[in-house]
Structure formats: structure tokens, C-alpha cells
Amino acid sequence: MTNTDLTALTGDYTIDASHSTIGFTVRHAMVTNVKGKFDEFSGSLHLDGSNPSASTASIDVKMDSIDTGSEDRDGHLKSADFFKIEEFPTMTFRSTKAEALGDEDYRITGDLTILGTTKPLTIDLEFNGAAKDPFGNERVGFEGKAEIKRSEWGLTWNAALETGGVLISDKIKLSFDISAIKSA
């Protein structure tokens, strides 16, 4: 049974990484999209149902867990050309503002840190509901999306194409499917 009484949802939650996805889509060779995800991350949420603007989110992503379905591409993304995972093993997000937009829509703004560079990121979220799972856990679900320009975080490697344009777009579409379990 879904519970939409937001006041009853107030509390602290841990992101259930095994039932959540942090993904991305990037235009490749100007003709197709390549999708990927991060397999290892952790995070927490504080939800305030009576005052959504007091809600917070914190996420840490292990950059070594990037998965695009190609070992060679993943290896290149982990290298000094892109994420420099030896020097910068973690990408982080720390919220600074939360807003209720109406209905089931919310917006969370925070600081995204990649390669030691911190810039603001705004994520539009849809509240997918709350339920008690068969194991007695109180769960909430959110789905979100955002867009960034990778160059703003120092991710500038690219290659020119013979036909014009570049191999990898600057714009990256981020997607989030988050399931979180309320702390006891």
C-alpha cells in the first residue's frame, strides 16, 4: 500500500544501492547515445514531510564503479583523460536547498564535486511513493534528472571527427532512480 502522507515520512533514510540507479547518457560521435551507470554508491536522505525545504540529501559515488558495458571505454573513463580515479576516487553531492514544486514534484539543489571541482547542480525529482516492503522496511522512492556540461568540472578530453563535430558531447544527462530505507 502506498503512503502519500508526507508528514508520516519524516525521518532519516539510507539509500538502498541494490535497488537504486545513478546513471548518465552522453551523445557519442554526434549520432547515438551511450548510457552508463555507477555500480557502487552510498547516501542518505533526511525527509521533512511538514517542511520539505528542510529535507537534505548526501551521496558518495565510487568512480571506479563506472559501467558503460564496455571494459575498454570504462578503462578510458577511469584514466587521466577523464575521471583520474587514482587521484579522485569519489564524486559527491551535498544538497543545499530543497523545494516542493507541487503535486509529487520536487527540486533539490546542491554541490556536485567531480575531480576536486565543486559546482552547483539542480535535480528535478518526482516522488514515486512510499511503502512497507515484505521485510518490514519503510521505503520511499524518487526519480530524478539533471543535465550538466562536463567541461565545467574539467572533463574536457575529446576528439574531432572527420565529418565535423566531436566524439563526445559536452552535455551529460544524469538520471536517478532512488529507493531509500527509513532508519529505525
DSSP secondary structure string, 70-92?
-HHHHHHHHSTTTT-TTT--EEE
121 pLDDT higher than 70 = yes
Distance CA(46)–CA(32), nearest Å, equals: 38
Q: What is the overall mean pLDDT for the chain?
A: 91
Name the pTM for this structure. Answer: 0.90
pLDDT tens profile 135-154? 999 999 999 999 999 999 99
127 pLDDT higher than 60 = yes
7 pLDDT higher than 90 = no
| All three cell numbers of 46 | 533526511
